[in-house]
C-alpha cells in the first residue's frame, strides 16, 4: 500500500511540475498574443478616430467637447479618452482625469520623440492599456502644438483569460493525473508486481526443489526464457542432490553401480585428454521447420538412447548425417553446433548426403542389403553394384571427416556405430594407425552361410577388422562373426580370447550387451500412473486393461504376428472383449522402401480387420498409433499398461523392453519378450515367447493379465535390478576400458 501511495504521489509531483511548466509557457504566450492584439486594435481605433474627426480636432476649443469625448468612448468601447495640451490644459471625460497623472511621463516621451507609445498601467485595481499619439503636422499648421491624444482601454479581460487558462489547466491536469495514476498502478500491479510475485514463487520452488510446482505455474511470455532457465536450474539441483544421495548409498552398501558422474571420472582417467569421436549415420538431434519456427527433435532410435549418455558424460564430437530440413540453418561455418540445446555438453558435426547417396548408400546397400541379410526375418536382401559403390564413397567421406577433425590428435578414441560404416575402421586406421578404433554392431550377425550371400563379404569383413575392437550385443553374435571370418578370410582366429589376427593387426571381438540410462535414483523415482480409461479417452475407447507395444514399423519387429496373437487371445478368452485394448505405437520408418511401405500397409489392414471383427461401441481391441511419439508421450503408456509385448522376429537387443521395465517404479506389470531379441538374455523375469508361435503368444497375454501382484513384483524387481547394475554407463565404461587396454 505504501508503495502504491508513493508511486501515485511521485506521478502527481512529476506530472505537476511538467504541467506547471507547460501552463507558464502557454499563459505567457497567450498574454503576449492578447497584448499584441490589443495594441493593434487600439492603434486602429486611434487612426480611425483621428481620420473621421479631423475637423473636430481643428476646432476642439470651440463648442462642447464633453459630448464629443463621451461619444468616442461609447462608440469604440474605450475606458477613457483625453486631449492633452499641457499639464494645465486637458480635455477629457470624467474617467480619464484620474489616469492622466499616471500617463504624464509617457505623454512627455511621446511628444519629445514625436511617436506613438502604448503601455500598460494599473489604476483603481484595474489593468489598463494606454495609447498616446502626438498631434500630426496638419494640426501644428493650424496653430495647435504640443498636443497628444490619449486612449485608455480596459485590459482587465486579459488577466481573466489568463486566470481561466490556469484554472482549466489545473482541473484538467488534476483529473488526468488521477486517471493516469490509477491506470499506471493497475498496469504495474499486473505487469510488474504479479510477475515479480511469480518469480518469488519460482525461487521458493527452486529452494525446495519442487519442479512440478514450477511447471504448473502459468508463464508470461516475456518471462518464458527466465522460467525455462529456473526449471533447468531446479532440475540440475535435484539431480545433484539425488546424485549425492545415490553416491552415499553406494558407499554405504559397497556396491559399484555406474552413474554419469562415475563414468565421467572414469572417462577422464581412461582418455587422458584424448578426443572421443562417435560416428553414426543417424544424428542425435535434428532441426525441422515447424511453420515459421525451427524445432529441435530427437529422432526415434535405440542407438541415440544408448550413445548420448557417453558424450554427455565425457564431451567430444559426434559426426552424423544431417537429415532435418532445417539442419543447415542451425550449424556454423564448420557445419557444427553444440548439443543438447538446453545444456550443451558436446559437439555435433553434420555431413550432407546427396539424394543419390541417400538412395544408394542408405536405402540401397544398408537397408535393402545388410539389414535383411543380418536379420533372419525371411526378407530377401538385394545387392546392386551401384549401391555398393555409393556405400564405399560415403564411408570414405566420413573417414575424411573423422581424419580432419582429429588432425591434431595423436591417439583419438573413435567409436563407430552400426552397419552403415563397415568399411570405416580400416579407412581410418590406414591414415592414423595410432588411433583407438572400435565399431559396435547394433544389429545381429548372421551365420556364415547367410552372410555368404553378400557379394562383397570379404571387403566388409576386412573393413571391420581394421578396428581394434568389434562389439556385439551377445556372445552368440560374436561367435557367428568369428565363424564367418574363419570361413571367409585367410586369418588367424583365436577362440581363447576371441580375437582375429589379419595382416599383422589384431582385433578383439567381444560382447557388450547395451542398456539404457538407469541409475539408483531412477530406480527409486515413482512414475505417475494414469488410469487406462483416461489414456484411451482421447481416442473414444474405454477399457479396463491395456497392453503396450512400441516399435519402429519394420518387418523384423513381428507386428503382424503380435496382432494375430491378440486376435487368438480374444478368441480363446472372450471374457476380455470390451475390457482389453492393446496400444501399438508404431513410428513409420524407411517408407521409401517397398518392403517397409508394404509392412505399414499390412499392419494397418490387419488391425482394421481384427477391430472390425471384435469391436463394439466405445471399444476396439487394437489402437494403432502409427506416428512418431516422443519419450514423454510414450512414458504414460509405459507406466500404466498391464504389460508390454516385444515380438521381434530377430533383434540385436531391443531397448524398448528395458525402457518398459525401467518405467515400472512400483515393480508391477509384466514384460512379454521374444526369445529372438538380445534383451531375452538379460531380462530373465520376462515371459519369453516364440513370436511365430501364435498360441504361445496368446497364452502369454492371458498369463500377463492374470499374474498375481506378488509374482509380478518378484519378476519386475529382478529385471529392474539387472538394468541398474548393467546400465548404459556400465556398458560405456566396459567398452572404453577395453579400447584403452588394447
pLDDT tens by residue, 205-230: 666 656 566 555 555 565 566 666 66
- 626 and 557 in one domain? yes
Closest CA to 519 of 680, 728, 678, 661: 728
Interatomic CA distance for residues 333 and 325, integer angstroms: 17
pLDDT class of 400 with cuts at 50, 70, 90: very high
Quick check: 650 and 375 in contact, CB under 8 A? Answer: yes
Residue 620 lies in a domain: yes
* 601 — pLDDT class (breaks 50, 70, 90): very high
Question: Distance between CA atoms of 438 and 310, rounded to whole angstroms?
Answer: 14
Q: Quick: pLDDT tens for 455-506.
A: 999 999 999 999 999 999 999 999 999 999 999 999 999 999 999 999 999 9
- What are 557-593's pLDDT values in tens digits? 999 999 999 999 999 999 999 999 999 999 888 888 8
Q: 500 and 565 share a domain? A: no
Q: At 718, is the pLDDT very low, low, confident or very high (cuts 50, 70, 90)?
A: very high
Q: Does residue 343 belong to any structural domain of this protein?
A: yes
Residue 319 to residue 307: CA distance in whole angstroms: 12
User: Over 90: is that where the pLDDT of 530 sits?
Assistant: no
| Sign, CA torsion 13/19/25/29 | negative
What backbone torsions phi and psi does residue 299 show, to the nearest 5 degrees?
-65, 150
Q: What is the pLDDT of residue 149?
A: 79
Mean pLDDT, residues 724-736 taken together = 91
Residue 276, number of CB atoms within 10 A of its CB: 22
Q: What is the pLDDT of residue 82?
A: 79
Q: 116 vs 556, which has greater pLDDT?
A: 556
Task: Pinpoint the alpha helices (H) of 282-406.
Answer: 302-314, 355-357, 371-374, 385-405
Residue 543 lies in a domain: yes
Task: Check pLDDT > 80 for residue 140.
Answer: no
Q: Are residues 346 and 301 in the same domain?
A: yes
238 lies in the same domain as 289: no
Q: What are phi and psi of 251, to 5 degrees?
A: -65, -40
Residue 199 lies in a domain: no
Residue 6: which residues within 8 A CB-CB, separation 6 or more? none
Please indicate, yes or no, whether residues 570 and 619 belong to a single structural domain of this protein.
yes
CATH number of the domain at 148, please.
3.30.450
What nine digits make up the cell of 730? Answer: 556400465
Domain assignment present for residue 703? The answer is: yes
Helix (H, G, I), strand (E, B) or coil at 489: coil
Mean pLDDT score, 146-151 = 77
Whether residue 588 is found in the same domain as residue 715:
yes
- On whether residue 610 sits in a domain, the answer given is yes
Q: What is the CA radius of gyration of the chain?
A: 48
Q: Got the DSSP string for 122-185?
A: EETTEEEEEEEEE--HHHHHTT--S-EEEEEEE-HHHHHHHHHHHHHHHHHHHHHHHHHHHHHH
3-state SS, 600-666, equals: HHHHHHHHHHHHHHHCECCECCEEEECCCCCHHHHHHHHHHCCEEEECCCCECCCHHHHHHHHHCCC
DSSP 3-state of 127: strand
Residue 65 and residue 63: Cα distance in Å, rounded?
A: 6
Band of the pLDDT at 24, cuts 50, 70, 90? confident
Give the pLDDT confidence score for residue 136 in this predicted structure: 55
Q: Residue 567 sits in which domain range?
A: 526-726
Residue 130 pLDDT exceeds 90: no
Q: Which stretch of DSSP H or E encloses residue 118? A: strand 117-123
- pLDDT for res 227: 62
> What pLDDT, on a 0 to 100 scale, did the predictor assign at position 457?
97
Are 237 and 304 within one domain?
no
Q: Is the domain of 486 the same as that of 564?
A: no
Angstrom distance (rounded) from CA 649 to CA 561: 9
- 163-177, 186-200, 246-260: segment of lowest average pLDDT: 246-260
Residues 80 and 222 grouped into a single domain: no
Is there a single domain that holds both residue 246 and residue 323? no
The pLDDT of residue 606: 96
CATH of the domain at 610: 3.40.50.2000
Domain total of the chain? 4
pLDDT score for 71 = 76
Q: Are residues 632 and 697 in the same domain?
A: yes
Is 646 among the domain residues?
A: yes
**Mean pLDDT confidence for 333-337:** 94
* CA dist list (Å): 99 to 419, 473, 718: 117, 120, 119
Instruction: Give the pLDDT band of residue 311 (cuts 50, 70, 90).
Output: confident
pLDDT in tens, 35-67: 788 778 878 877 777 777 666 665 555 445 667
> Are 456 and 488 a contacting pair, CB within 8 Å?
no
Give percent of the chain above pLDDT 90: 51
Single residue among 224, 255, 286 that ends a domain in this structure: 255
- pLDDT tier for residue 300 given thresholds of 50, 70 and 90: low
Q: Is residue 33 part of a domain?
A: no
pLDDT band with cut points at 50, 70 and 90 for residue 242 = low
Mean pLDDT of the region 269-287: 91
The domain boundary residue, chosen from 154, 169, 194:
154
Asked if 370 contacts 381 with a C-beta cutoff of 8 angstroms, the reply is yes
How does pLDDT run across 636-680, given as a tens digit for each residue? 999 999 999 999 999 999 999 999 999 999 999 999 999 999 999
Q: Are residues 576 and 650 in the same domain?
A: yes
In whole angstroms, give the CA distance from residue 337 to residue 319. 11
User: For position 252, what pLDDT does the model report?
Assistant: 40
List pLDDT tens digits, range 190-209: 666 666 666 666 666 666 65
Q: Rounded mean pLDDT of the chain?
A: 85
Residue 623 to residue 617: CA distance in whole angstroms: 14
Amino acid at each position: 500500500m505504501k508503495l502504491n501511495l508513493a508511486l501515485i504521489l511521485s506521478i502527481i509531483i512529476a506530472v505537476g511540475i511538467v504541467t506547471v511548466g507547460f501552463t507558464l509557457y502557454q499563459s505567457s504566450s497567450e498574454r503576449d498574443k492578447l497584448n499584441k492584439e490589443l495594441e493593434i486594435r487600439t492603434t486602429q481605433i486611434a487612426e480611425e478616430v483621428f481620420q473621421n474627426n479631423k475637423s473636430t480636432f481643428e476646432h476642439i476649443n470651440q463648442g462642447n467637447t464633453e459630448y464629443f469625448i463621451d461619444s468616442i468612448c461609447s462608440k469604440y468601447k474605450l475606458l477613457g479618452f483625453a486631449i492633452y495640451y499641457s499639464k494645465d490644459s486637458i480635455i477629457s471625460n470624467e474617467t480619464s482625469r484620474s489616469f492622466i497623472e499616471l500617463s504624464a511621463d509617457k505623454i512627455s516621451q511621446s511628444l519629445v520623440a514625436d511617436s506613438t507609445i502604448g503601455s500598460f498601467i494599473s489604476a483603481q485595481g484595474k489593468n489598463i492599456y494606454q495609447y498616446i499619439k502626438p498631434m500630426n503636422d496638419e494640426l501644428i499648421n493650424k496653430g495647435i502644438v504640443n498636443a497628444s491624444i490619449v486612449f485608455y482601454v480596459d485590459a482587465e479581460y486579459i488577466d481573466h483569460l489568463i486566470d481561466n487558462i490556469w484554472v482549466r489547466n489545473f482541473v484538467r491536469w488534476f483529473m488526468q493525473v488521477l486517471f493516469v495514476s490509477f491506470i499506471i498502478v493497475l498496469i504495474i500491479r499486473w505487469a510488474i508486481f504479479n510477475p515479480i510475485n511469480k518469480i518469488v514463487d519460482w525461487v521458493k520452488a527452486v529452494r525446495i526443489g519442487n519442479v512440478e510446482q514450477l511447471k504448473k505455474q502459468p508463464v508470461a511470455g516475456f518471462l518464458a526464457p527466465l522460467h525455462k532457465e529456473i526449471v533447468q536450474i531446479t532440475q540440475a539441483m535435484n539431480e545433484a542432490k539425488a546424485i549425492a544421495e545415490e553416491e552415499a548409498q553406494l558407499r554405504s552398501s559397497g556396491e559399484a553401480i555406474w552413474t554419469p558422474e562415475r563414468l565421467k571420472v572414469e572417462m577422464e582417467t581412461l582418455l587422458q585428454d584424448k578426443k572421443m569421436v562417435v560416428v553414426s549415420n543417424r544424428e542425435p538431434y535434428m532441426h525441422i521447420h515447424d511453420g515459421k519456427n525451427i524445432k529441435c527433435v530427437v529422432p526415434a532410435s535405440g542407438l541415440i538412447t544408448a550413445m548420448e549418455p557417453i558424450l554427455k558424460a565425457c564431451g567430444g564430437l559426434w559426426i552424423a548425417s544431417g537429415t532435418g530440413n532445417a539442419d543447415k540453418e542451425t550449424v556454423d561455418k564448420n557445419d557444427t553446433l553444440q548439443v543438447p540445446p538446453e545444456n550443451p555438453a558436446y559437439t555435433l558435426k553434420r555431413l550432407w548426403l546427396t539424394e543419390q547417396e541417400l538412395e544408394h548408400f542408405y536405402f540401397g546397400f544398408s537397408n535393402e542389403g545388410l539389414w535383411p541379410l543380418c536379420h533372419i526375418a525371411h526378407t530377401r536382401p538385394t545387392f546392386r553394384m551401384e549401391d555398393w559403390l555409393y556405400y564405399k564413397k560415403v564411408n570414405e567421406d566420413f573417414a575424411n571427416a573423422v581424419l580432419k577433425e582429429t588432425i591434431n590428435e595423436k591417439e583419438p578414441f573413435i567409436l563407430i556405430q552400426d552397419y552403415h560404416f563397415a568399411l570405416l575402421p580400416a579407412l581410418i586406421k590406414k591414415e592414423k594407425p595410432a588411433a583407438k578404433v572400435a565399431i559396435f554392431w547394433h544389429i545381429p550377425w548372421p551365420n556364415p552361410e547367410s552372410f555368404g550371400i553378400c557379394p562383397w563379404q570379404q571387403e566388409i569383413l576386412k573393413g571391420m577388422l581394421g578396428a581394434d575392437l568389434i562389439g556385439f550385443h551377445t556372445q552368440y553374435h560374436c561367435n557367428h562373426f568369428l565363424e564367418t571370418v574363419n570361413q571367409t578370410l585367410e586369418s588367424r582366429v583365436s577362440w581363447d580370447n576371441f580375437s582375429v589376427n589379419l595382416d599383422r593387426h589384431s582385433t578383439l571381438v567381444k560382447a557388450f550387451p547395451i542398456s539404457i540410462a538407469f541409475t539408483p535414483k531412477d530406480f527409486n523415482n515413482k512414475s505417475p500412473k494414469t488410469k487406462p480409461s483416461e489414456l484411451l479417452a482421447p481416442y473414444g475407447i474405454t477399457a479396463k486393461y491395456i497392453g503396450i507395444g512400441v516399435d519402429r514399423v519394420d518387418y523384423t519387429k513381428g507386428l503382424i504376428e503380435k496382432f494375430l496373437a491378440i486376435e487368438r487371445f480374444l478368441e480363446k478368452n472372450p471374457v476380455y472383449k470390451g475390457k482389453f485394448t492393446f496400444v501399438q505405437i508404431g513410428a513409420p520408418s524407411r517408407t521409401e522402401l517397398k518392403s517397409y511401405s508394404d509392412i505399414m500397409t499390412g499392419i494397418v489392414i490387419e488391425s482394421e480387420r481384427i477391430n472390425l471383427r471384435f469391436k463394439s461401441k466405445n471399444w476396439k481391441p487394437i489402437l494403432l498409433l502409427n506416428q512418431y511419439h516422443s519419450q514423454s508421450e510414450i512414458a504414460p503408456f509405459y507406466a500404466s499398461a498391464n504389460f508390454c509385448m516385444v515380438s521381434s522376429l530377430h533383434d540385436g537387443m531391443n531397448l524398448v523392453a528395458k525402457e518398459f521395465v525401467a518405467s515400472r517404479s512400483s515393480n508391477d506389470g509384466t514384460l512379454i519378450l521374444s526369445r529372438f531379441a538380445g534383451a531375452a538374455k538379460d531380462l530373465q523375469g520376462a515371459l519369453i515367447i516364440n513370436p511365430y508361435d501364435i498360441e504361445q503368444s496368446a497364452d502369454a497375454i492371458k498369463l500377463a493379465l492374470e499374474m498375481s501382484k506378488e509374482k509380478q513384483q518378484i519378476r519386475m524387481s529382478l529385471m529392474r535390478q539387472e538394468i541398474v547394475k548393467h546400465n548404459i554407463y556400465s556398458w560405456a565404461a566396459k567398452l572404453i576400458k577395453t579400447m584403452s587396454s588394447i
